[in-house]
Amino acid sequence: MTALTAALTQNRVHHAFLFAGTRGVGKTTLARLLAKALNCDRGVSAEPCSKCDACIAVDEGRYIDLIEVDAASRTRVDDTRELLDNVQYAPTMGRFKVYLIDEVHMLSGHSFNALLKTLEEPPAHVKFLLATTDPQKLPPTILSRCLQFNLRALQVIEIVSQMEKILKSEAVEFDLDALNTLARAAAGSMRDGLSLLDQAIAFGSGTVAGGAIRDMLGMIETRQVEQLIRALAEADVAALLDVVEALRERALDYRLVLDDLLVSLHDICLYQIAPNAVDAKALDAGFIAELSELMTPEDVQLFYQIGLLGKADLPLAPDPATGFEMALLRMLLFRPDASNGEEDTSEESETLPVKRSPVRVAPDKKRSQSDSVPKSLNPAEPSVWARLVGDAALEGVSRELAMNLSPQTYESGTLTVGLSSALQHLDKSTRRQEVEKKIGVLLGEEAFALQVVKASHTSDAATPVVVQAKRTEEAKQQAYNKLMQDPVVQDIIDRFDATVVPDSVQTGQKGG
């Protein structure tokens, strides 16, 4: 608003202004403030006194030279012409006659033409203040004659700050979790936020508390959001279904439940990339930090996308609860590391079997780590290190760290590993300790330790990621060679002069 302030200070005010923005962000309020600034008895100023007769009359809605029009209810051209017929007359009391037209995009085409004639040659004593939530619907001829100001939606922390100020002045008890919930529900609109706040005070019998607010809005409890995400991260179906059953008993709006889940996933992603941004948003950084350690960034993105699609599918489901439950099950089943319990069939699988079960149905069926890997293995052969990492049941960022370490030397229980400069941020003491502990169990080395050094050639580093990619490529080549030896395929190639595209060949699945 620097341009507007400067114009008022220099008394060089344009004849038409357009304030655009979502509902409840202050378009009409700003227009009224501008009307006060133009007609304040102390002169045109960016800071009207709010004490003179003109300012008080504007505040009380009785200033005769401020003509407010709701375009949504006066769309006919006759209404507009009747309104504009009085433009030629001088103001009764003030310095300027101010026309405030709200939701101006609702005017008809003929009404816009009538307004355009006045905007082209406006009298010196008239100012037009137009407000709209949809500026795209205004004709370019109108837009070109207005100074346009786009008002952004308010941030959660801004709405919370205003609510906090109001509640303290009214001596109403509250907690910040409740205000954060209300501010998010307001979706950037201060007006909606204040309406929800009034409702919350009545609902809570004079207090504003988090649990009551979530009941009022039909939202999931923060604790249950944490339980859902933790169950998803750990692929624990039993725990997930327990939470779903508890939610079913509350008869919630499942669209809002998915919204809450999506907001938390967004916060987790933000923390993984820029932790300071989470603090700036005044979120529960402890809760977010803990969950971000349990999930890879790829899983967070996958869960978020499935949640968005799940919202769209809810109206098509047999009932909302079923649609919600199916969205959660998709999050589990579509994870890219799911191998459906297959055993690795590469030539090293005899010495180091790998069997993963990404979806944990029954805890008592979980394989003992100490039985999965023979002792006395040298973790400095790259293929052995890759097997160890794959079988260590590491999760989240700790797994990302281990997958990107290239083994170099192993001596006296200490493995020296390389880590590229671009991935040094993964190397945190807590993550390293988790890797050391789980790899040490597999090796039978209680004092197993990692010594991380910078890798000199990241492209040649024998990390588990590289080893895994190499195995995948070898498997694809074997599948291609086997396909080309198939008599049926050769017959098709000979008959139709066909060609097999190597990249289109996929490795087969057991039992498929």
Say which DSSP state 408 is in: E
What's the pTM value of the predicted model, to 2 decimals? 0.51
Instruction: Give the Cβ contact number of residue 203 at 10 Å.
Output: 16
Length of the chain: 512
Gyration radius from the chain CA atoms: 33
pLDDT for 362: 42
Count of beta carbons in the 10 Å neighbourhood of residue 181: 26
Q: Are 123 and 159 in contact (CB under 8 A)?
A: no
Is pLDDT above 70 for 283?
A: no
* Residue 96 to residue 77: CA distance in whole angstroms: 25
Residues 180-202: pLDDT tens digits? 888 888 888 899 899 989 988 98
Per-residue pLDDT band at 127 (split at 50, 70, 90) = very high
To 5 degrees, how large is the angle CA 218–CA 223–CA 224? 60
Q: At the topology level of CATH, where does 222-333 sit?
A: Zinc Finger, Delta Prime; domain 3 (1.20.272)
Domain chopping of the chain, boundaries:
2-150, 156-217, 222-333, 370-466, 467-504
Q: What is the pLDDT of residue 407?
A: 87
How do residues 398-423 score in pLDDT, each as one tens digit?
888 888 888 888 888 888 888 887 78
Give the model confidence (pLDDT) of 239-261 as tens digits.
888 888 888 877 678 888 898 88
With a cut of 70, say whether residue 354 has pLDDT above it.
no
pLDDT at 116 over 60: yes
Highest mean pLDDT among 291-305, 328-342, 392-406: 291-305
Q: What is the DSSP string of 422-482?
A: GGGGG--HHHHHHHHHHHHHHHT-TT-EEEEEE-S-TTT---HHHHHHHHHHHHHHHHHHH
Of these ranges, 73-87, 178-192, 361-375, the one predicted with the greatest mean pLDDT is 178-192
Question: At 462, is the pLDDT very low, low, confident or very high (cuts 50, 70, 90)?
Answer: confident
- Res 130: pLDDT: 92
Phi, psi angles (nearest 5°) of residue 360: -90, 110
CATH of 370-466 among 3.50.30.30, 3.90.380.10, 3.30.300.150, 3.40.980.10 = 3.30.300.150
Give the pLDDT score at 378: 76
2-150: CATH superfamily: P-loop containing nucleotide triphosphate hydrolases (3.40.50.300)
CATH topology of domain 156-217: Helicase, Ruva Protein; domain 3 (1.10.8)
